[in-house]
Amino acid sequence: MHLLRTPAELSEWTETARRQGRRVGLVPTMGFLHRGHTSLMEASHERADLTAVSIFVNPTQFGPNEDLARYPRDLEGDLHKCREVKVDAVFTPEAGAMYPSGHRTFVEVTKLEDGLCGGRRPGHFRGVATVVTQLFALARPHVAVFGEKDWQQLQIVRRLAVDLHLGVEVVGMPIVREADGLAMSSRNAYLSGPERTRALALSRGLQAARARWAAGERGAPALCDAVRGELRAGEVREDYVELVDPSTLEPLERADRGDARLLVAGFVGKTRLIDNTAIGC
């Protein structure tokens, strides 16, 4: 497995692969890898000849009062996991290499970044879109794989890849869950035992909404209330619960078209968690 430390090393590695006629897959991550991430690496293996993983806790996507400093990190453990999944190269840049002094360019994906997590975390998706564009520019991957847990992020990355003519196929992979339904997330590491139990309210809420839909309910308020009931029961403080169009992320009144997405964000203690599900199919 190649360890690539600088942007130039990533470009050179992928350029060589391209010249050899090999398809390159990229899995962007912020590290502290779990089975959700390794499922993305496996998906990349199926679609590309070589897979590169980036591990970079991107400072520009954290707000001033967010968890950049305490975001969980475990580079040695991450490299071990990447080796186990037979990743070909890992890119671990320094923040100063991605954002050298004088850096002034940011990428904004208008509208898509306004609501949901973007509404609650101003500037977050500007940081995500900027670093993902940088990674795409450096690696020029044929395919890039992202998790569906960050549904809004996935739509934003899809949009920027098309709008900026980056020629990369953006693939979304299903949420990987623990046996009890908790969506895998690096932030689960913050949860105490009792908090982890309370965190199940998010997936339970989405399940409750799906059950309401299966029983004939179509209205967004009732479907969202089904989620809220579980959040209250788990003492999870709601950040938002919204039924939206899966690609435009516009709010929907009803889920009768067969392609709505229900998204939830909530705080368990100080930890902010997100989850989502397709509804109506």
Q: Which residues are catalytic?
A: 37
**Is residue 195 within the footprint of ligand PAF (CB under 6 A)?**
no
Question: Could you give the CA distance from residue 262 to residue 251 in angstroms, rounded to a whole number?
Answer: 10
Q: Is 203 exposed, middle or buried (0-12, 13-18, 19+ CB in 10 A)?
A: buried
Distance in Å, CB of 11 to ligand PAF, minimum: 18
The 8-class DSSP code of residue 185 comes to: -
Tokens of 122: 């101003």
Tokens of 22: 């090999």
Tokens 């969506």 belong to 183
* 59-78 footprint of ligand PAF as x/- string (CB under 6 A): --x-----------------
Q: At 51, is the secondary structure helix, strand, or coil?
A: strand
Question: Could you give the CA distance from residue 78 to residue 152 in angstroms, rounded to a whole number?
Answer: 25
> 25 has which bridge partners?
51, 143
* Per rule CB under 6 A, count of chain residues that contact ligand PAF: 10
**Is residue 150 within the footprint of ligand PAF (CB under 6 A)?**
yes
**Is residue 30 within the footprint of ligand PAF (CB under 6 A)?**
yes
Nearest CB to ligand PAF, comparing residues 132 and 161: 132
Q: Using CB under 6 A, pick the residue from 17, 87, 98, 128 that binds ligand PAF.
A: 128
Distance in Å, CB of 219 to ligand PAF, minimum: 32
Q: At 108, is the secondary structure helix, strand, or coil?
A: coil
Distance in Å, CB of 128 to ligand PAF, minimum: 5
Nearest CB to ligand PAF, comparing residues 150 and 230: 150
Distance in Å, CB of 139 to ligand PAF, minimum: 13
Q: Using CB under 6 A, pick the residue from 14, 29, 39, 276 that binds ligand PAF.
A: 29
Nearest CB to ligand PAF, comparing residues 22 and 187: 187
Question: Could you give the CA distance from residue 275 to residue 265 in angstroms, rounded to a whole number?
Answer: 7
Tokens of 140: 């020029």
Question: Could you give the CA distance from residue 202 to residue 72 in angstroms, rounded to a whole number?
Answer: 22
Nearest CB to ligand PAF, comparing residues 147 and 205: 147
**Is residue 268 within the footprint of ligand PAF (CB under 6 A)?**
no
Angle at 45 between CA 41 and CA 46, to 5 degrees: 120
Distance in Å, CB of 93 to ligand PAF, minimum: 12
Q: Using CB under 6 A, pick the residue from 4, 17, 24, 28 that binds ligand PAF.
A: 28
Nearest CB to ligand PAF, comparing residues 151 and 213: 151
- Helices (H) and strands (E) counted in the chain, each on its own, are 9, 9
Nearest CB to ligand PAF, comparing residues 54 and 277: 54
Q: Is 219 exposed, middle or buried (0-12, 13-18, 19+ CB in 10 A)?
A: middle
* Interface positions with ligand PAF (CB under 6 A): 28-30, 58, 61, 128, 131-132, 150, 153
